Structure 1
Amino acid sequence: MDDDTKARLILSALTLAGEPAAGEGEDTYNERLANTVARVAALCAPRSPLANVVDDVLDPEAKRFVGTITKVVKEPSSTRGVVYMDCNPSDRHPDGKETARTDRTDNPNGLRVAHLAQSLLGHRVLFTVKLEVMPNGDKVRIIKHVQDLGMAS
């Protein structure tokens, strides 16, 4: 890791840790600061859960489209959230009715997206999805993020 990246991590930790608390000695403050910088560094590490979120949302292969969430149900066979949406009609979906799945909800990111989608029922959202191949060979759209665009009109 280069020095600039290390400096940014340390400055982030300083921002999070804040100034020493009243009566907090220098050794205690430095220990708290070291714990904070270690936490920030771990969150930024390649393949950390948060780094995976960033990779998924910024993946150039990801597709983005707008739709209105009409229903979210848990798929018993996989624990994934199945999101039902109204989108613009297309050749594949002439009625504009589409579905996509979240990651498994026993995965923190899958659960996060499922809860977010559930909280946005009736809202227009910008979906970020990636195509994934299932063990049976089927390709399915996996929702990596939803961004609220407000209530549907």
Structure 2
Amino acid sequence: MTVTTEDVVLAAVTSIAPKGTDESDADYQTRVKTQAISLRIMTGETSPVSRAVAQIDACKVFTATVVKVVKEKSSTRGKITLKTKPSKWNEDGVEYARTERSDNPDGMAMAKRLNALKGHRVLLWVEVEEFDGGKVRVIRHVEDLGEADSDD
């Protein structure tokens, strides 16, 4: 998808407050310009926001109940215990995934969010991240589906 300059300007205009009655045209245009530049940066190929959105396409999506959240000492990631349907890979239905490192603001925010969702059924977007020593399943996004019931 190509984002045009016009797209960015229109998004900036619609995302900021309307021009105030006591505000000059120059002040209003400065707010629009500042917002447009921020939006252009966020839509760039190398933007962390654009990369995060692109990561979602590589994710496996599934439902689970959040059972436990602990900090993994070796990596500072949140280690999440999940209860899913039993399968041939997980006969007891217990699976593990991790957050980004908790010394990263995104990782810390995700760990806190998942901790608050203990006992909830959630929809997860999980990506397999490869590194020198192997692979790790990283939670990229989570949506709360409400408190789990006994069938979950």
- TM-score > 0.5 by shorter chain: yes
Higher mean C-alpha displacement, 116-125 vs 104-113 = 104-113
DSSP-derived class of the 1:72 partner:
strand
Structure 1 residue runs without a partner (length 5+): none
- Corresponding residue for residue 116 of structure 1: 113
Return the alpha-carbon distance in structure 2 between the equivalents of residues 106 and 22 of structure 1: 44
Post-superposition Cα deviations, 1:97-140, rounded to whole Å, max 9, x if no partner, equal 1111111122232223222211211111111111112321x222
The TM-score normalised by the length of structure 1 is 0.88
- Corresponding residue for residue 150 of structure 1: 146
- Corresponding residue for residue 76 of structure 1: 73
Percent identical: 38
| Aligned partner letter, 1:103 | E
| Aligned partner letter, 2:98 | R
Return the alpha-carbon distance in structure 2 between the equivalents of residues 82 and 121 of structure 1: 13
| Aligned partner letter, 1:31 | T
Post-superposition Cα deviations, 1:51-91, rounded to whole Å, max 9, x if no partner, equal 1221122x1x3211111001111112111110101111112
**1:128 maps onto 2:143 in alignment:** no
**1:27 maps onto 2:11 in alignment:** no
- Give the length in aligned residue pairs: 149
- Corresponding residue for residue 61 of structure 2: 64
- Corresponding residue for residue 40 of structure 2: 41
Return the alpha-carbon distance in structure 1 between the equivalents of residues 31 and 19 of structure 2: 9
Is the contact made by 1:53 and 1:109 (CA closer than 8 Å) also made in structure 2? no
